[in-house]
Structures are given as structure tokens and as C-alpha cells.
Amino acid sequence: MKHVKSAAPGKTILFGEHSVVYGFPAIAMAINIQTKCELQEIQKDIIELRFKNYGLSLNSSSLSKLITSFPESFKQYGLCFKMLHEKYGIEFNKLRVTLSSDLFPGSGLGSSASTAVSLISAINNFYDLNLLKEDISKLAYKMEEIVHGSPSGIDNTICTFGNIIMYKQGNFEFLESFSDLQILISYTNIEHDTKNAINSIKKLKKKRPGLVSKYLKEMGEIANSAKMELIDGNLVSLGDLMNRNQQLLSLLGVSNKKIDLINKIALQNGAYGSKLTGAGLGGCVISLGERKALQKISIILNEKNIPNFLTTRNETGVHLIE
């Protein structure tokens, strides 16, 4: 019986979240925490879907019935099957699809994009569609539109291609950086809401266009400066830029007390820089520093029941696994 398994990395925004929506550059890094999708041929003439992290299982004898059976928060998957059926004529029968992720949901780590990319990649290989990575990324973006409204395109891009990228207005370039770039990712235990965060800044920009535009422009300048520091491997300067980026995000109203607490703990215990990553209003915090300092911070956060993990960049992007 045919069997395919695909994995896609999560991501973290190092610099430029929110300002990227307004045409400024942002820098994102794929991380070695992944989502996996497994496709198995089965004997029953049905399609089964299993979302392990959510305890959700769906099955149907027809694709059309399956598409309409997705709960509201999962309807992007219905769109995926619908798009691929209409474009390639795939019937999706005698098939079991199992999705699982090690990423915190609603955390700013690209869990929805990582899941979308791993699913499309697995389908691509199972049905021999010969899609390029660019095609996988574009299809994942359409799924992201349902989840996030007006996504920047960073998440689907970085989860597909991996590594570190600078992204601006639909274009991206891979960035060179020293290999031992390590970050500590801490979870606030508050799911963020990307749509809400983006809309809150839109509203603020209408009220105070000059000030908000100034903040967004500076965030773009920070991303450009960070590009050079990444190439040079200057952790201290990267940390300084990270801290200023966090100040601007706070001024835009997308930080909160839990994020501020984690940043304070990190900076007081040896991190060079610390900031929210992703939409904000919850989600995750990233801290940059030497490995020993990050390990010390991790222990302190664990004592305060704040989930965290040390990670490095993922260089492969989406790929098949055994």
C-alpha cells in the first residue's frame, strides 16, 4: 500500500513583523521544530483525516461531503482538497491523512503554514503532481488567506524553503549567516490572533498616521541593518536591534505583560536581545545570546512554568521523511 510522509519546519520572525505588511522588509528563520503529514493508501473507499494535536477525526465517502464537514477553524484544509481536486482531478479516495505538529498553535511560529506546506507536499508526492517548491508555497498562501485574512507571505515561504530569508513585497532572498545562530523560544501560553493584531495596527495608523508610519519605517531600517549583522555574525549588535524592534512593537500596542516579563527575565540573565515574534498579543518570545546564557534563562523560565525550547535554523525546508 502506498505511503508518503512529509515534514515542514516552523518559523520565527527575527525582525520586521507587522512592518512587512506595509511593504518594508522582514527577516525570518526556519526552525528545527516541525509539522508532519502522513498519507496512507487504505482499503476502504473513503477519505479519512486525523488532526492528532486537536483530537479531531473526519471521514467521508465523497470529497464534496468532506469539504463541507470541516469545522470553521479547519476550513482551510477543505479549500486545499477542493483546489487540488479542481486543478488536478484528484478524487482523494481510499486515503488516510494524518497531521501532527510539535509547534505551539497560535504561537507565531507558523503552525498553520507549516501544516499547509507539509500537507501539500505530501499530496504532491503521493499523487506524483511534480509541483515545484514555488507551487507548494503559492498553494499554502491561499490556505493562509483563510486563516489570517491578509498574510504577508512570509510563513508559507519560509516553511517551504527553510533557512533564513529577507522578505519584501512578495520577493525574498536567502541570507548568509554564521551557522551557530541559536535562539530560545518561549511560549506565553496565550494564543495570538493575527487578524486582530494586524487590524489593531491598521486602526492605530488611521488615528495617528504620521507616528505609526515612522515606527514602521524604522522597523524596516532595523531589518536592513540586521541583514548585515547576520552576515558578520555580530550577536551583540543583533541583540541591540532586536531590543529596539521590541520597543517599536510595544509602541504599536502588540506586546503585553507576559511578553514583557519574558523579555525582562531574558535580558537580566545574559541574553543580548529579546522580543516577541509573529503577530504579538501573546504567542512566543525569541531571545538571542550565547548557548550557556540561553540554557540558564531556560531553567529560570521552566521554574515559572513558561514553556520554552532552544533551537537553531532549519536549512532544508519541506522534505520527505522515512
Region 190-207 average pLDDT: 89
What does the pLDDT read at residue 179?
A: 64
Catalytic residue among 155, 180, 232, 240: 155
User: Quick one: what percent of the chain has pLDDT higher than 90?
Assistant: 73
* Phi and psi torsions of 82, nearest 5°: -65, -45
Region 241-256 average pLDDT: 97
Split at pLDDT 50, 70, 90, the class of 172 is confident
What does the pLDDT read at residue 97?
A: 96
Classify residue 150 by its DSSP letter: S
Distance CA 89, CA 111 (A): 28
Buried b (16+ CB within 10 A) or exposed e, 116-125: bbbbbbbbbb
> Is residue 285 predicted with pLDDT exceeding 80?
yes
Q: Say yes or no: 27 and 73 in one domain.
A: yes
Classify residue 193 by its DSSP letter: -
Q: What is the CATH number of the domain that holds 44?
A: 3.30.230.10
Angle CA(52)–CA(53)–CA(57) in degrees, nearest 5?
A: 40
Strands 26-41 and 164-168: antiparallel
Q: How many domains does the chain have?
A: 2
Distance CA 197, CA 202 (A): 9
The model's pTM: 0.89
Q: Say yes or no: 103 and 210 in one domain.
A: no
What does the pLDDT read at residue 247?
A: 98
Per-residue HEC secondary structure of 59-104 comes to EECCHHHHHHCCCHHHHHHHHHHHHHHHHHCCCCCCEEEEEEECCC
291-320 tens-digit pLDDT: 999 999 999 999 999 999 999 999 999 999
Q: What is the CATH number of the domain that holds 197?
A: 3.30.70.890
Q: Say yes or no: 157 and 196 in one domain.
A: no
> Is residue 65 predicted with pLDDT exceeding 80?
yes
CB half-sphere exposure, 321, CA atoms < 13 A = 14
Residue 155 annotated as catalytic: yes
Q: Torsion over CA of 110, 112, 118 and 121, rounded to 10 degrees?
A: -110
Q: Say yes or no: 118 and 229 in one domain.
A: no
What does the pLDDT read at residue 178?
A: 65
> Is residue 147 predicted with pLDDT exceeding 80?
no
Range of the domain at 90: 3-174+315-320
What does the pLDDT read at residue 105?
A: 76
Region 155-160 average pLDDT: 93
105-128 tens-digit pLDDT: 778 898 889 999 999 999 999 999
